Chains A and B, each alone.
Chain A
Amino acid sequence: MSEIVNIYKDLFEANKLLLLNNVPHGLKIKREEAIHHFLEKGFPDRKSEKYKYTQLDNYFGNGYNKSLEYPKINVSVADIFRCDVPQLETHLLILANGKFYRFDQRGNLPKGVTICSLKDAIKTNPQIVDQYLGKLSKDEDVYASLNTAFATDGFYIHIAKDAALDKPLQIVNLLLSEEDLLVQYRNLIILEENASANIMVCDHTLSIHHFLSNIVTEIFQEKSSKLDLIFMQNEHNNSIKMQSTYVNQESHSDSNINIFTLHGGLVRNNINVLMNGEYANNSCNGFFMADGSQHIDNFTFMHHAKANCESSQLFKGILDNEAKGIFNGRILVDIDSQKTNAYQKSNGILLSDTARMNARPQLEIYADDVKCTHGSAIGQLNDDAMFYMRSRGISKPESRLLLLHAYAYEIVEKINIEPLRERIDEMVGKRLRSELARCHNCPMHCC
């Protein structure tokens, strides 16, 4: 067993009281199984197909405060953080260093909607947490197991049958500390039959310290439920982020997940979708922009376990300087999943001589009556398009900007809430002009 793995063995031993005592029996067993799985497998190395291009084990070694009792935040988060999108009213849930901080609701929540911290949910709804937590992530990935073993807080959203979240919910996770910090938190989103929700999760860093996040979100969509989920990743260069999202979709459910990675030192997104009921629909898209020595890795796994489902994926990236982008997408169609439609496309634009892009779009198909396609293209801006603009008197930098902005808009336009779409489009534009990608009245000094 490697030294780094041992750190977590000791950490688990040292925190046994917190992790295993006074918690529901089911959770205790899950944590024990998870640490066992982690210790047995260890961190994946370069030979692992799944983590071939992104090795994180060294970051998980020394150098970060791994205390499960988070350092206290000295400033008022509300004072330094404001996020308002015109014409958009949202419920706002703030996490600080992965721990529930506060929840500002606009008016009363509709009947059947529960939004709270995972910590509270474990106390108030232990059966539901027990039923769902770890169901999708169990033994699937070592980083997810590490999270299951150690994460004690995060957010919890439960929408009961036929209920709907009236306004979008914005979840903001702020990283703020006085030393380098390891943050692990865990989220649950449960949409019962015919329920619907609109959720946006934003990540921000508020202090210059190094942050290492290991986040797992499990999403359960029962029959005919509908989810719109946006991840907005905007952290500074000293942050390392490992984010795993698991989705289980029952029949006729609809899921629309969009990930925007505007800034971040090293980001790895794992998205695992299980189409577990017929006629489910999934759309999963991502846009990432990286410069300097940033490293962005998107990994998707679309598992069509039932017939008549449809999934589509579109991932686009722009890479400058020495940045590295990776897209690894896998579509698996089981033997009885006839009439599956699965589409996948990844594009990468390299702006400098030293930027790199790797793509692995994979299809694994065991059913014959299916339509599956994947496409991948890596290159630079179209010369003809540039010439067209230049010949009309548009300057070179401006033409470039226009083209890149249009390229990004293909993903941005998939956001269903209009004010939000405009805001994100604006942030993408700013990022392209090498300005800090933050809202114009946001006083935060991240990055």
Chain B
Amino acid sequence: MDTSQDSILAEVTGSDYKYGFVSNIDTETIQKGLNEDVVRIISAKKNEPEFMLEFRLKAFKYWQTLKQPEWAHLKIPAINFQDIIFYAAPKQKKQLNSLDEIDPELKATFDKLGIPLNEQKHMTGVAVDAVIDSVSVKTTFKDTLAEIGIIFCSFSEAVHEHPDLVKKYLGTVVPYTDNYFAALNSAVFSDGSFCYIPKGVRCPMELSTYFRINAANTGQFERTLLIADDESYVSYLEGCTAPMRDENQLHAAVVELVAMENAEIKYSTVQNWYPGDKNGKGGIYNFVTKRGICKEKNAKISWTQVETGSAITWKYPSCILKGDNSVGEFYSVALTNNYQQADTGTKMIHIGKNTRSRIVSKGISAGFSNNSYRGLVKVLRGAEGARNHSQCDSLLLGSTCGAHTFPYLEVDNPSAIVEHEATTSKIGEDQIFYCNQRGIKTEDAVGLIVNGYAREVLNQLPMEFAVEAQKLLSISLEGSVG
């Protein structure tokens, strides 16, 4: 590789994280550390009913018996759980009645992030639940949605107002015994979003959650529970950002999706947590358990993710295809730069007959980063006629990064067809030359090629997100020629 390309790469890796500001919001926190009392305090602070406290304590006891998993292709520094604040909330003195009562600083924060909290003015037609540090601060369009029976609110609110639903579904898709970080989340989760789409309702707008870690030394542990009842449809978006800090912060979330008969859930994520500086200092550790179940027949769950942030990403959005004819999809673009590490992929568990799944994963590595795809396709004995196709491509930009693929295919049914394809490549010199010839600068050409490479996945994103995701990819990758 010649030096001019090296310098372009260096320039690009030096680009700033534009969401790295810190907002000056009064925050209420509890003492550092994790023990049973902390779990009780969190539960008490949220005024939770007894069943929630029980759930948390069971999870905490179980978590204590576990060891941090080591199977991922990641170098995870030891995490000192006693050095983390497990609950932080922007101070709020009373229940808010209108937007004007929100802390102006908080509002400014969301304006900077470009998140439309002000429902009167914005035209995008997206209902937003904004979660800062650990607490949901504002849910827009709640009333409009309530008219057609959709429940969209913060998790804490749901616990109080719809305890039956929460009790019925909490932990059914991701039980607290699932894994180390799911157990931790179950014990200390502070808030998140809750959404219920009733029978036969097609949600008229995109539902969206924005997560923001603001306070120092805190971890964010949110939990999302989304239920789509028979014949319903919902598209859900999730975005995340965090300030630039030298120390690492922990984010361990759980997302549970339940799709009933003929229901469809489309879940899109643009993950842009602070990835650390160019020397690999700081950044968010993103350990997330996301799973959906197609509980009844003809249900469909589609995950789309654009992963550009976080120092370490450990994330496998999965589908349990239990209902006959149900469909699971996973579209992912994972980009790592500098010293970022990502081990991400999916699990498709085929249980019902004629279930179908499709996996498209596009990994892009640059700098000194390591990017792994890890995916399981499991076809159980009863999954007659199951069909899977997986495609995992990796693009290497530079000779110091790594791209890895670890697929697991387990097939117990002879009528199943499972296919996996993977390629690893770099941007071809001929492609760059072709663009150069037509007067496109090398930098722009790379942006163009990378966006084209990721197009199959970006196309799956809702409009607003697709634009943001494309910009994100260009910012991180312009000019990095391998």
| Residue ranges of A at the interface with B (Cβ–Cβ < 8 Å) | 49, 335, 338, 348, 350-380
Contact = CB atoms under 8 A, between A and B. Distances in A.
A359 B409 contact: yes
Contacts of A350: 411, 413-414, 416
Nearest to B399: A368
Interface string B347-377: 0000000000000000000000000000000
Interface in B459-482: 482
A358 B408 contact: yes
Contacts of A355: 414
B481 to A, nearest CB: 10
Nearest to A319: B414
Contact of B419 (A49, A351, A376): A376
A386 B398 CA distance: 48
B415 A380 contact: yes
B402 interface: yes
B407 A360 contact: yes
Contact of B399 (A358, A367, A377): A367
Nearest to B482: A368
B423 interface: yes
Interface in B403-429: 403-426
Interface in B59-108: 71, 73
A358 B400 CA distance: 32
A360 B482 CA distance: 28
B199 interface: no
Contacts of B394: 363, 365
Given A378-B418, A379-B417, A373 B423 contact: yes
A367 B394 CA distance: 12
A351 B409 CA distance: 17
Contact of A354 (B381, B397, B409): B381
Given A375-B421, A376-B420, A362 B405 contact: yes
With most chain B CB atoms within 10 A of its CB, the pick from A360, A363, A370, A372 is A363
B424 A363 contact: yes
B227 interface: no
A363 B405 contact: yes
A360 B405 CA distance: 10
B404 A364 contact: yes
A350 B410 CA distance: 12
Nearest to A320: B414
Nearest to B406: A362
B398 A360 contact: no
Contacts of B399: 335, 338, 367-369
Contacts of A49: 71
17 contacts: A348-B411, A361-B405, A363-B422, A368-B396, A368-B397, A368-B401, A368-B482, A369-B426, A373-B423, A375-B420, A375-B421, A375-B422, A377-B418, A378-B418, A378-B419, A379-B418, A380-B415
A371 to B, nearest CB: 7
A362 B400 CA distance: 20
A377 B387 CA distance: 11
A359 B420 contact: yes
A375 B391 CA distance: 9
Contacts of B415: 380
A378 B383 CA distance: 14
A365 B424 contact: yes
The 7 closest A-B pairs by CB, nearest first: A350-B414, A368-B396, A379-B417, A363-B405, A359-B409, A376-B420, A366-B402
A95 B76 CA distance: 49
Nearest to A363: B405
A358 B408 CA distance: 7
Contacts of B423: 372-373
A351 B403 CA distance: 35
Nearest to A372: B424
A366 B71 CA distance: 19
A353 B381 contact: yes
A358 B401 contact: no
A365 B402 contact: yes
A301 to B, nearest CB: 13
A30 to B, nearest CB: 30
A350 B415 CA distance: 8
B426 A361 contact: no
B482 A369 contact: yes
Contact of B414 (A360, A361, A368, A380): A380
B200 to A, nearest CB: 37
Given A367-B399, A368-B482, A379-B417, A360 B408 contact: yes
With most chain A CB atoms within 10 A of its CB, the pick from B73, B396, B409, B482 is B409
B441 to A, nearest CB: 21
Contacts of A367: 396, 399
Given A354-B381, A368-B399, 19 more contacts: A350-B414, A353-B413, A357-B409, A358-B410, A359-B407, A360-B407, A360-B409, A362-B404, A363-B424, A367-B396, A368-B396, A368-B397, A369-B399, A370-B426, A374-B421, A375-B422, A376-B407, A377-B417, A379-B418
Nearest to A340: B424
Given A356-B411, A366-B402, A368-B482, A379 B416 contact: yes
Nearest to B418: A378
A380 B405 CA distance: 25
Contacts of B424: 363, 365, 370-373
B210 to A, nearest CB: 35
Contacts of A354: 381, 412
B470 to A, nearest CB: 24
A364 to B, nearest CB: 4
Contacts of B405: 361-364, 374
Contacts of B422: 361, 363, 373-375
Contacts of B425: 370-371
A375 B403 CA distance: 16
A355 B416 CA distance: 12
A377 B404 contact: no
B417 A362 contact: no
A27 to B, nearest CB: 35
Contacts of A348: 411
B358 to A, nearest CB: 15
Contacts of A368: 396-399, 401, 426, 482
A375 B425 CA distance: 15
Contact of A363 (B381, B398, B404): B404
A350 B414 CA distance: 5
Contacts of A338: 399
With most chain B CB atoms within 10 A of its CB, the pick from A335, A371, A378 is A378
A378 B401 contact: no
Contacts of B411: 348, 350, 356-358, 378
A371 B426 CA distance: 9
B65 to A, nearest CB: 16
Nearest to A334: B402
Contact of B420 (A364, A369, A370, A377): A377
A361 B397 contact: no
Contact of B404 (A365, A371, A376, A379): A365
A40 B33 CA distance: 36
A359 to B, nearest CB: 4
B401 A353 contact: no
